[in-house]
Amino acid sequence: MIITVASGKGGVGKTTVTANLGVALAKLGKKVLLIDGDISMANLGIIFNLEKKKPSLHDVLAGECDVKEAIYRHRSGVYILPTSLSIEGYKKSDLDLFPEVVSEVADNYDYVLIDAPAGLNRDMAIHLAVADKVLIVTTPELFSISDGLKIKQSSIMAGTPIMGVVLNRTGRDFGEMGVEEIEMILEEKIICKIPEDENIRNATLKRMSVIEYAPKSPAAVAHMELALKILGSYVDIHRIEDVYREGFLERIKRLLWRFIR
């Protein structure tokens, strides 16, 4: 499944949601590819310390290398197609090739998450059209929600269904809008609330996902819950640790089985 993670404006935490959701899905046993689709203002690679890797998506979109040469496996378990920070790389990239690049590798993964550029422009239209579903990231402020509504409308025009809305950075302000009010405006379901958590910032500074940096933190648990919902599995947020334990026990069982044989 190809999921474009989109937001109407910058600063809502779209890139960190993409990164941490990808790691969460990988922890749950899925093969995940993260694509830094913002070819002009790339940020996803920074979280994984891959922003200087060569080749990158810029080189792929310039026709200088095969896409598989620009995909890297990270220690967290996810695969990443990063975009460089180079202005020259951006200038030589042909975004019209992007759908072809995605379709070439999508079947090799359970999930492909595209970190789309913020705002509404031609680049965003391509990212919405290439996806199977769109995940909208917003914060509980009126302007952010208004811009999220524009993303929804653009997704409808592209013929791509909305998977749901992630309400990010909650709990910062007593005056923030409530879930019911936001759902009424967007006419979409909020499938996950991710709280404001300093561990996100600290993890980014360490070039890590928050799931690696602080796996029991509120933000890490929320991203695991989001991953479970996307997989179609519900589990109580307080039982997330059971998921890790079950995964560990399964690995032990496999090792024991090999030994017995």
Sheet holding 111-115, edge to edge: 72-73, 79-81, 32-36, 111-115, 2-6, 133-138, 162-170, 190-195
pLDDT for residue 19: 97
Q: Is 12 annotated as a binding residue?
A: yes
Q: How many H-runs (helices) and E-runs (strands) does the chain carry?
A: 12, 8
Tens of pLDDT, residue by residue over 35-62, are 999 988 889 999 999 988 999 999 999 9
pLDDT for residue 157: 92
Tens of pLDDT, residue by residue over 128-158, are 999 999 999 999 999 999 999 999 999 999 9
pLDDT for residue 86: 84
DSSP E strands, 116-257: 133-138, 162-170, 190-195
pLDDT for residue 107: 97
Low-confidence ranges of the chain (pLDDT < 50): 234-240, 243-244, 246, 248, 252-255, 258-261
Q: Is 10 annotated as a binding residue?
A: yes
Q: pTM for the full model? A: 0.88
**248 Cβ contact list (under 8 Å, min separation 6):** none
pLDDT for residue 40: 86
Q: Is 63 annotated as a binding residue?
A: no
pLDDT for residue 10: 85
Which residue ranges make up each domain of the chain?
Answer: 2-260
In CATH, the architecture of 2-260 is: 3-Layer(aba) Sandwich (3.40)
pLDDT for residue 144: 93
Q: Is 9 annotated as a binding residue?
A: yes
pLDDT for residue 45: 93
pLDDT for residue 257: 52
Q: Is 16 annotated as a binding residue?
A: yes
Long-range contacts of 120-123 (CB under 8 A, 24+ apart): 120/8, 120/150, 120/151, 120/154, 122/95, 123/37, 123/38, 123/39, 123/40, 123/95
Q: Is 13 annotated as a binding residue?
A: yes
